[in-house]
């Protein structure tokens, strides 16, 4: 996807790093003081979706792969984690790990099949696979169909960190979010990330240089699935449930919206976008289906006039890379 110069070249690498460090510190600070201004539950939800959006953005922003079925990773991990915590009594970290593993496996299988196709084909294939996962979740006994898995215990992480304490849970979720965020950022700024960008710029060239581009794209896809799974599993603990909504097509659409509004191909865009969309949903929940209409209108407006998203526009104005 020709992200219109969301990533603007800066004068020096060190300026980039300075800006990045400042932005990160600001984000941590905001997370720290946020619970004094808004409901912690809401912020934790936002962080989970922000992580989900970061995972999605890894694919579209840096590998040029539009995944329209990303909810399958979020939702599957949510279900597996919820089941592991509630039915098997696993402590939270193990339950999350199991959820992440499930998403990784799903990511590997679907990625291996989808990655050989590019662009439009790839997007449509992800739609089809995620629908498949949705239908499986409807039928599978362990998901309890329409009811979902309710009453997921928050338990004691690693045996002693009591997550049913709201403050501790908040810190736990924040740590998970920041960890996931950093993993994505490190991946993008690593040699692996550079090769991904090279593949995005000119894949035939990369192939002629000897890079096994399919493997890199698959790796990016699986990484994205893993982070999305992390977000989903954590979300299951926060909201204490896992439901069909988590694997639904509308959730897949929402993460696209978050990233589009926030800014594709930027680090902080998905975070801001997630915050906006989750807020929007909370405030507009009373309007029922109008939420869908408004989301659609925001979509259309962004695609037509606002392709760089909020962070993208800001970054371009300030000539920095965010």
Least spacing, CB of residue 61 vs other proteins, in Å = 12
Q: Which residues pair with 242 in a beta bridge?
A: 149
d(CA 219, CA 215): 6
Q: Please, which contacts does 289-297 make with residues 24 or more away whose CB atoms are closer than 8 Å?
A: 292/250, 295/253, 295/254, 295/257
Residue among 26, 28, 175, 297 that touches other proteins (CB under 8 A): 297
Rule CB under 8 A: say whether 207 interacts with other proteins. Answer: no
108 in Cβ contact with 223 (< 8 Å): no
Rule CB under 8 A: say whether 113 interacts with other proteins. Answer: yes
Q: What is the CA radius of gyration of the chain?
A: 19
With contacts defined by CB under 8 A, name the span among 43-51, 178-186, 238-246, 248-256 that binds other proteins. 248-256
* C-beta of 124 vs 178, nearer to other proteins: 124
Residue among 21, 26, 28, 136 that touches other proteins (CB under 8 A): 136
With contacts defined by CB under 8 A, name the span among 32-40, 269-277, 282-290, 310-318 that binds other proteins. 282-290
Longest dimension (CA), the chain: 56
Rule CB under 8 A: say whether 108 interacts with other proteins. Answer: no
Least spacing, CB of residue 36 vs other proteins, in Å = 35
Rule CB under 8 A: say whether 10 interacts with other proteins. Answer: no
d(CA 228, CA 6): 23
Rule CB under 8 A: say whether 256 interacts with other proteins. Answer: yes
CB burial readout 30-52, b (16+ within 10 A) else e: ebeebbeeeebeebbbbbbbbbb
Residue among 66, 72, 74, 280 that touches other proteins (CB under 8 A): 66
170 in Cβ contact with 38 (< 8 Å): no
Rule CB under 8 A: say whether 159 interacts with other proteins. Answer: no
Rule CB under 8 A: say whether 120 interacts with other proteins. Answer: yes
236 in Cβ contact with 155 (< 8 Å): no
Q: What residues make contact with other proteins under the rule CB under 8 A?
A: 1-2, 66, 68, 113-114, 116-121, 123-125, 127-129, 131-132, 135-136, 138-139, 249, 253, 256, 260, 288-300, 302-304, 307
């Amino acid at each position: 996807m020709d992200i219109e110069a969301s990533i603007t070249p800066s004068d020096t690498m060190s300026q980039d790093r300075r800006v990045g460090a400042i932005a990160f510190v600001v984000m941590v600070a905001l997370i720290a003081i946020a619970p004094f201004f808004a409901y912690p539950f809401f912020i934790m939800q936002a962080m989970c979706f922000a992580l989900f959006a970061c995972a999605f953005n890894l694919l579209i922003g840096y590998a040029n792969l539009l995944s329209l079925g990303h909810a399958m990773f979020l939702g599957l991990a949510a279900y597996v984690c919820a089941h592991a915590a509630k039915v098997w009594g696993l402590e939270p970290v193990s339950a999350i790990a199991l959820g992440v593993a499930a998403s990784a496996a799903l990511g590997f299988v679907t990625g291996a099949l989808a990655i050989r196709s590019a662009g439009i084909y790839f997007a449509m294939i992800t739609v089809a696979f995620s629908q498949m996962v949705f239908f499986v979740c409807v039928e599978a006994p362990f998901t309890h169909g329409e009811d979902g898995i309710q009453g997921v215990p928050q338990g004691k992480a690693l045996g002693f960190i009591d997550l049913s304490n709201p403050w501790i849970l908040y810190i736990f979720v924040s740590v998970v979010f920041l960890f996931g965020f950093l993993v994505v950022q490190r991946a993008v700024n690593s040699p692996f990330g550079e090769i991904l960008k090279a593949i995005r710029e000119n894949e035939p060239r990369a192939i002629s240089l000897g890079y096994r581009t399919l493997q890199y794209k698959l790796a990016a896809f699986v990484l994205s699935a893993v982070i999305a799974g992390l977000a989903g599993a954590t979300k299951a603990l926060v909201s204490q449930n896992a439901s069909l909504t988590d694997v639904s097509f509308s959730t897949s659409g929402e993460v696209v919206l978050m990233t589009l509004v926030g800014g594709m191909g930027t680090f902080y865009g998905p975070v801001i976008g997630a915050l906006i969309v989750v807020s929007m949903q909370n405030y507009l929940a009373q309007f029922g289906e109008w939420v869908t209409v408004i989301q659609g209108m925001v979509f259309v407006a962004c695609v037509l006039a606002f392709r760089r998203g909020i962070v993208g526009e800001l970054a371009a104005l300030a000539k920095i890379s965010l």
